[in-house]
């Protein structure tokens, strides 16, 4: 948990869990294996000294196996240990597949990929098992070599001992006693050699766990770091540039300042750097250049814990812990009382649905809160933010994955949550940020536009394009539920079977110069045809002229079409201006 978000983003969960789980077991086994080694070493020295007193020559001969065993251990360390690390890495990959499959279970089931995931796991498992078997064979060969050399040493001692008996230098009884002591010498040697393999395995596993412990965190407190006590909430970026490892220019020379209690919206295309930008406020990452300031203090000069305690976050994907709902809300402030938790839930519009659950606030949730809908989970996350009561609030697209009705409920709660707090909102739905005090427009890591909603519309830049495409699509989708494939049958008979809407759509596309998506253009064409449909009636004297204008390169040039279309576009004045259509409503905005 002390490691940075970047580290966890780049490491498989299965590997991390394996490193954590192996530490206590392998460290315990390693400690248990040390006393037998010490005992064997003491016995080896004692038995050898006794053997020397009986027959120094034979005692020295018994040590001829020691160099062989020494070099065998060296060869083992040089050749087997790398294989141990390789096998460990394969087993980590196997565990990662298991953890990923469990986390993605709904996706796997939705796409019916159970057999595919099984084959993937089996393939990786077989690779790891084959590597483990190959390693075990090599470890067995090492033990075989050691046992063979100890047997050879025993035979050598027995041969020379028998010769000493024939020479009268040693009795048969003394030879038997000497052989028993030599066996007592070789026994510890065999024990030491046979323990080397398992001990190396445990050392490798413990090393893997300590690798995790020994990693230096990317984000650390400065030696003179200060504690941030309830800041006013001003936030500033001073020429901030940042990039992830292996990438370039994620954020480029970002500069802006936000006064306390202001609402800031951050918009831009996917991949523009919006989420990265706000992650620097929480100091999930440090910029390569520039500074992020809170109340005029560089966040790198603040204690990380105190900084993050002053920032509340509501993420795009609602994250809940397994356990009671009350504990999930209390996570915002661990010392909170039950009345405070209930009040936070009321403020987040979550109290009513929680009370309807079988056990109310004590309802136990499974992992991720799967029993609840996305909207319900998000409201619990908002309640958690209410309870934390931090002066800086970050909303990372909190309504992007919920329906419009639930969105209204959550937006109402978020509006209350934003009061008297410096609020940063990442939003794709521009309709939710009209009242922001400042809108920052990012594109390819650069801050290209800034201002209020009205100011950015007047600039006719990227924000205007995003607004026209999105708002235009929403309004037209609501106004036109059906697409008119052609004009009325009488007019169609005079002009052939070519779909009229295709001609209108092409003409509008040429007028708008590619600033509106094809889907929005289709709805616009349908809306225009709906507006002029009464003029195409068989008894209308201008039907032929209206139809010819619709077939032309500029349908709004016909005054009657322009007037009818303007009435339909009364709620979409910007698009009407782009098309050169005069609206019936007096202008009320820039």
Task: Report how far residue 411's alpha carbon sits from residue 438's, in angstroms, rounded to the nearest whole number.
Answer: 18
Distance CA 213, CA 203 (A): 15
State whether 63 and 137 are in the same domain: yes
The residue among 467, 452, 495, 484 whose CA lies nearest residue 572 is: 467
Q: Residue 391 in contact with residue 361, Cβ under 8 Å?
A: no
Pair (440, 291) in one structural domain: yes
Domain endpoint, select from 455, 471, 503:
455
In 348-488, which residue ranges form alpha helices assigned H by DSSP? 351-355, 374-388, 404-418, 453-459, 462-479
d(CA 82, CA 200): 11
DSSP assignment string, 178-215: HHHHHHHHHHHHHHHHHHHHHHHHHHHHHHHHHHHHHP
Same domain, 168 and 188: yes
Residue 228 domain-assigned (yes or no): no
* Residues 241 and 279 grouped into a single domain: yes
User: Distance between CA atoms of 422 and 259, rounded to whole angstroms?
Assistant: 8
Tokens of 152: 């050879």
Q: What is the CATH number of the domain that holds 407?
A: 3.40.50.300
**Domains contained in the chain, number:** 3
Same domain, 537 and 444: no
Identify whether the C-beta of residue 80 lies closer than 8 Å to the C-beta of residue 197.
yes
Tell me if 220 is assigned to some domain.
Answer: no
368 occurs within a structural domain = yes
Query: What is the C-alpha to C-alpha distance for residues 365 and 323, in angstroms, rounded to an integer?
Result: 5
Task: Compute the distance between CA of residue 514 and CA of residue 508 in angstroms, rounded to an integer.
Answer: 10
What's the CA gap between 446 and 241, in Å, rounded?
9
pTM, two decimals, is 0.60
**Closest to 451 (Cα-Cα) out of 234, 265, 254:** 265
Tell me the two tokens of residue 575: 């698009």
DSSP 8-state secondary structure symbol assigned to residue 437: S
Residues 29 and 104 in one domain: yes
Domain match, 497 and 410 both = no
Whether 371 and 419 share a structural domain: yes
pLDDT recorded at residue 254:
92
Other residues' Cβ atoms within 10 Å of the Cβ of residue 15:
19
**What pLDDT is attached to residue 402?**
64
Could you give the CA distance from residue 371 to residue 386 in angstroms, rounded to a whole number? 23
pLDDT at 416: 81
Q: For the chain, how many residues are written? A: 590
- The residue segments making up the domain with residue 535 are 462-579
Contacts of 261 (CB under 8 A, 6+ apart): 233, 420, 421, 422
Q: Is residue 168 a part of any domain in this protein?
A: yes
DSSP tag of 226: B
Burial of 98 (0-12, 13-18, 19+ CB in 10 A): middle
Tokens describing residue 344: 């936070």
Q: Which of 435, 515, 523 shows the shortest CA–CA distance to 477?
A: 523
Please report whether residue 585 resides in a domain: no
Q: Is residue 80 part of a domain?
A: yes
CA pair distance 400, 373, nearest whole angstrom: 14
Residues 342, 472 share a domain = no
Handedness of CA 180, 184, 189, 193 (dihedral sign): positive
CB of 442 closer than 8 Å to CB of 242: no
Phi, psi of 513, deg, nearest 5: 60, 35
Last residue of a domain, one of 179, 214, 249: 214
118 and 248 share a domain? no
CA gap 510, 23 in Å, rounded: 67
Q: Minimal CA–CA distance to 86: which of 212, 7, 204?
A: 204
**Cα separation of 143 and 140, whole Å?**
5
CATH number at residue 29: 1.20.1560.10
What is the end-to-end Cα distance of the chain in Å, rounded?
Answer: 50
Query: What's the rounded Cα separation, in Å, for the pair 416 and 263?
Result: 12
Tell me if 272 is assigned to some domain: yes
Strands (E), 259-363: 263-267, 289-294, 297-298, 311-314, 323-324
Does 191 share its domain with 321? no
Specify the DSSP element, H or E, that contains 429. Answer: none
Indicate the SS3 state at residue 312.
strand
Which tokens in the block code for residue 16?
A: 């991390």
Q: Are 398 and 367 spatial neighbours (Cβ–Cβ below 8 Å)?
A: no
Task: Give the CA diameter of the chain.
Answer: 142
Q: How many angstroms separate the CA atoms of 530 and 216, rounded?
A: 66
Alpha carbons 422 and 386: distance in angstroms, whole number: 14
Per-residue pLDDT 10s for the chain (590 aa) are 555 555 555 566 666 666 666 666 666 666 776 777 777 777 777 777 777 777 777 777 777 777 777 777 777 777 777 888 788 778 778 877 877 777 777 777 777 778 888 888 888 888 888 888 888 887 777 777 777 877 777 787 778 778 877 887 777 887 787 777 777 766 766 666 666 667 777 777 777 666 666 667 677 888 888 888 888 889 999 999 998 877 788 899 999 999 998 999 999 888 888 888 998 998 888 898 999 999 999 999 999 889 988 988 888 778 888 889 999 999 888 888 999 999 989 888 888 889 988 888 899 888 777 788 888 888 888 888 888 888 998 988 777 666 666 677 777 788 888 888 899 988 877 767 878 899 999 988 899 999 988 888 888 788 888 877 665 544 444 433 333 333 344 444 434 334 566 677 677 777 666 555 666 666 677 767 767 777 766 667 777 787 777 777 777 777 877 777 666 655 455 555 555 554 444 443 33
Predicted local confidence at residue 84, as pLDDT: 80
Query: In terms of domains, do 402 and 354 share one?
Result: yes
Residue 227 lies in a domain: no
Bridge partner list, 311: 392
């Amino acid at each position: 948990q002390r490691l940075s978000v970047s580290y966890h983003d780049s490491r498989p969960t299965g590997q991390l869990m394996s490193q954590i789980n192996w530490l206590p077991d392998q460290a315990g086994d390693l400690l248990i294996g040390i006393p037998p080694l010490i005992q064997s070493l003491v016995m080896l020295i004692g038995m050898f000294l006794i053997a020397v007193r009986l027959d120094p020559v034979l005692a020295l001969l018994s040590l001829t196996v020691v160099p062989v065993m020494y070099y065998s251990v060296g060869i083992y360390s040089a050749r087997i240990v790398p294989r141990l690390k390789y096998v460990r890495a394969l087993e980590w990959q196997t565990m990662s597949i298991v953890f990923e499959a469990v986390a993605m279970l709904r996706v796997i089931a939705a796409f019916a990929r159970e057999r595919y995931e099984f084959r993937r796991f089996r393939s990786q498992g077989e690779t790891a098992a084959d590597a483990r078997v190959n390693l075990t064979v090599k470890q067995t060969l090492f033990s075989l070599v050691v046992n063979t050399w100890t047997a050879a040493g025993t035979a050598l001692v027995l041969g020379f001992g028998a010769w000493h008996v024939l020479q009268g230098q040693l009795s048969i009884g003394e030879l038997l006693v000497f052989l028993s002591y030599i066996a007592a010498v070789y026994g510890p040697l065999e024990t030491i050699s046979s323990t080397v393999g398992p001990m190396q395995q445990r050392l490798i596993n413990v090393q893997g766990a300590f690798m995790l412990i020994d990693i230096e965190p990317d984000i650390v407190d400065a030696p003179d770091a200060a504690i941030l006590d309830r800041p006013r909430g001003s936030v500033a970026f001073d020429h901030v540039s940042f990039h992830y490892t292996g990438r370039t220019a994620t954020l480029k020379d970002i500069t802006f300042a936000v006064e306390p209690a202001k609402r800031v919206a951050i918009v831009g295309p996917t991949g523009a750097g919006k989420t990265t930008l706000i992650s620097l406020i929480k100091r999930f990452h440090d910029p390569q250049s520039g500074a992020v300031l809170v109340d005029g203090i560089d966040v790198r000069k603040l204690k990380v814990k105190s900084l993050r305690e002053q920032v509340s976050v509501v993420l795009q994907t609602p994250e809940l812990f397994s356990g009671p709902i009350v504990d999930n809300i209390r996570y915002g402030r661990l010392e909170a009382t039950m009345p405070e938790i209930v009040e936070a839930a009321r403020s987040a519009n979550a109290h009513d649905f929680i009370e309807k659950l079988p056990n109310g606030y004590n309802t136990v949730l499974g992992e991720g809160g799967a029993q609840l809908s996305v909207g319900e989970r998000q409201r619990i996350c908002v309640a958690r933010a209410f309870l934390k009561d931090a002066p800086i609030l970050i909303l990372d697209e909190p309504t992007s994955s919920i329906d419009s009705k639930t969105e209204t409920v959550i937006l109402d709660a978020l509006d209350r949550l934003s009061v008297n707090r410096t609020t940063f909102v990442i939003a794709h739905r521009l309709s939710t940020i009209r009242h922001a005090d400042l809108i920052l427009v990012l594109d390819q890591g650069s801050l290209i536009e800034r201002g209020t909603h009205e100011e950015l519309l007047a600039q006719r830049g990227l924000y205007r394009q995003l607004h026209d495409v999105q708002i235009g699509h929403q309004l037209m989708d609501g106004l036109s539920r059906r697409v008119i494939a052609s004009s009325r049958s009488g007019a169609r008979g005079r002009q052939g079977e070519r779909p009229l809407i295709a001609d209108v759509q092409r003409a509008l596309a040429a007028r708008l110069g590619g600033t509106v998506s094809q889907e929005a253009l289709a709805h616009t064409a349908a809306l225009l045809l709906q507006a002029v449909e009464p003029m195409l009636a068989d008894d209308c004297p201008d039907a032929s002229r209206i139809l010819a204008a619709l077939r032309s390169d500029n349908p709004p040039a016909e005054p009657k079409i322009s007037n009818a279309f303007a009435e339909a576009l009364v709620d979409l004045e910007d698009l009407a201006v782009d098309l050169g259509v005069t609206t019936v409503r007096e202008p009320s905005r820039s």
